[in-house]
Amino acid sequence: MTQEVSQAYSKRASEYVAHLGSVKDMDPLDVALITSWGTSVVGPVLDAGSGPGHWTQLLCEHGCDARGIDMVQKFVGSARERFPRASFEVGDLLAMPFDKASFDGVLAWYSLIHLRPELRSQAFGEFARVLRPAGTLLVGAFLGTQDAPFAHAITEAFYWSEQGLVSDLEAAGFTVISVHTRSSEENRPHLAVIAQRL
């Protein structure tokens, strides 16, 4: 992930944690999906792009062996203070410090939204590397009719098309299990995909 994105989040980390750093601030449908997926995973789970750490903590509260990784040092520091029973570390999602086949589940919840579309396959390849065969990946992103940039509050982000995401996952060695979409007048359209490593 880019240094520019890391610096942009570092500048507003405290504000981000205050407004979006708790599960209670999240959509109940997202909480239900992540909980359902996480509790179905038998084995270690990685929250890739864990941000404030609330999703990692949620998974731990439901009995998952979960840990988080994020490129923003301030997020990791805050998560360690707020959720001391969970494990968090600093790292790049495109080159993670984990051995091959280390996890049975990877959560990438809005953690790739600032990644340029041409780099998406690299991220999915890295997720496939750290996942064990038959392990699952849950990805959350902004849904668009095509891959396109938009002005995000922190720094430039991208809408992902459902077909583009599915194609990139399949090219990285995943098979798609389920696709979830949601739209409302208050929020940008939402896309979530659960995929299994072949």
pLDDT, tens digit (0-9, with 9 covering 90-100), for 40-69: 999 999 999 999 999 999 999 999 999 999
Residue 31 has pLDDT above 80, yes or no: yes
Q: CA neighbours within 13 Å on the CB side: how many for 86?
A: 33
Confidence of residue 162 (pLDDT cuts 50, 70, 90): very high
Tokens of 133: 């065969």
- The mean per-residue pLDDT over the stretch 34-42 comes to 98
Indicate the average pLDDT of the chain.
Answer: 93
Which residues are paired to 160 by β-bridges? 143
CA distance 163 to 82: 38
- Go through the domains of the chain in sequence order and give each one's CATH number: 3-197 (3.40.50.150)
AA letter at 132? R
CA distance 98 to 130: 7
